[in-house]
Structure 1
Amino acid sequence: MTATTTTTARRTTALRHLPAAGRVVLGLLFSVTGLNGFVGFLPQDTSGMTDGAVAFSVALAQTGYLMPLAMGVQLVSGILLLANRFVPLALALLAPVVVNIVAFHVFLAPTGLTTAAVVAALEVGLAWAYRDSFRPMLRATR
C-alpha cells in the first residue's frame, strides 16, 4: 500500500462516520431542549434578548399549546435520532423547527446565529445523507 492509498482509506473511513456523529449531536441537542421545555432544568436568561425576541417567545408561550407541541416534537425527534430509528421522519418533523430557529436568530436575536447555523448545517447534512428516503416525497406526481 502506498501512503496516498492509506491516507485516502483513512479519510473515507472518517467520512463514513460523519452522519452518525451528526445524528447523535442533533439528537442530544433536541432531546435536551425538548425535555427542558417540560421539566425546566436549564436556566432561561432573557436579559440578552431583544424586546422583539422576548415578545415573540412570550406570545408563543401564551397560546398554551404551541410550546408544549414544539417541545414534544423536539423531544420525540431527538430520541428517534439517538435511537437511530425513523431518522428521515425525525428530520422531516424537525425541519420546520430548524427553519424557525434560524429565522428567530436572523430577525430577532442575532447573538445566537452561530448556533442556529450549526443546527441548520447538521439538519441539511443529515437530510443529504438520508436523501434516498426523501426521494419519493419529492417526486412529482401526475
Structure 2
Amino acid sequence: MNTPTTVQARPPVPAASRSWTRHLVTAVRILLGLAFVVFGANGFLNFIPPPPTPLPEGAAAFAGALFKTGYMLPLIGATQLIAGALLLANRFVPLALVFLAPFLVNAAVFHLVLEPSGLGMTGVFVALELFLVWSYRTAYRPLLTPRWPRD
C-alpha cells in the first residue's frame, strides 16, 4: 500500500497577511458598489432630493441636454446600477470598473469646470476607483499590450 501516512501541515501565515489591510480591497469594492447601486437606482426612482441651490448656468444646460435626449439618463442609471451590482456581487469586477471609468472622468471634469461644489465627493470616488483598478491591474495587462500576437 503506497498511501502517505503523514499529514502535510500548512506553513504558518505571515503576520502581514493577518492584518486588517487584507480586507481593504473588499471594503473599497463594496463601498463603491453601494454608491453606484444607490446612484443608479436614483436614476429611475428619484429618491435623492435635488440640491437646494440651483445649478450654475453651464451645469444646468449640460444636465438639460442629457435629459432632452430621452435615453441618456436611463442609460447612465442602468449602467451605474449594473456596474454597482457587479462590484457588490464580486463578479466581473474589472469589467465593472471599466464601465464606471467614463462616468467618473465625466463627473470629475463636470465638477472641475461647471460646478465645483461636488468636487470633494467626486475626488473620493475617483480615488476609490483608481485603488481598485490598481488592485486588479493584472486583469488589464492584456489590454495594454502594444502588439498582440496573431493566432
Whether TM-score is above 0.5 comes out as yes
Which residue of 1 is the match for residue 4 of structure 2?
A: none
Of 7, 23, 32, which residue of structure 2 is paired with 1:26? Answer: 32
> In the aligned structure 1, how far is the partner of 2:115 from the partner of 2:46?
21
Is the CA contact (8 Å cut-off) linking 1:46 and 1:54 kept in structure 2? no
Counterpart of 1:49 in 2: which secondary structure? coil
| Aligned residues: CA RMSD | 1.7
> In the aligned structure 1, how far is the partner of 2:131 from the partner of 2:113?
24
Partner amino acid for 2:99? L
1:93 Cα deviation after fit: 0.5
Partner amino acid for 1:41? F
1:45 Cα deviation after fit: 2.3
Counterpart of 1:82 in 2: which secondary structure? helix
* 1:115 maps onto 2:121 in alignment: yes
Which residue of 1 is the match for residue 7 of structure 2?
A: none
Is the CA contact (8 Å cut-off) linking 1:24 and 1:81 kept in structure 2? yes
Return 5+ residue gaps in structure 1 as ranges.
Answer: 1-7
Moved more, 15-24 or 29-38: 15-24
TM-score with structure 2 setting the length: 0.84
Higher helix proportion: 1
CA deviation digits over 1:60-106, x for unaligned, max 9?
Answer: 11111111111111000000000000000000000101101111110
* 1:139 maps onto 2:145 in alignment: yes
Which residue of 1 is the match for residue 10 of structure 2?
A: none
* 1:92 maps onto 2:113 in alignment: no
Count residues in correspondence: 135
Is the CA contact (8 Å cut-off) linking 1:77 and 1:93 kept in structure 2? yes
TM-score with structure 1 setting the length: 0.89
> In the aligned structure 1, how far is the partner of 2:32 from the partner of 2:105?
15
In the TM superposition, 1:1-142 aligns within 5 A as: 9=15, 13-45=19-51, 47-141=53-147
Is the radius of gyration larger for structure 1 or structure 2?
A: 2
> In the aligned structure 1, how far is the partner of 2:90 from the partner of 2:132?
12
Counterpart of 1:134 in 2: which secondary structure? helix
Return 5+ residue gaps in structure 2 as ranges.
Answer: 1-13
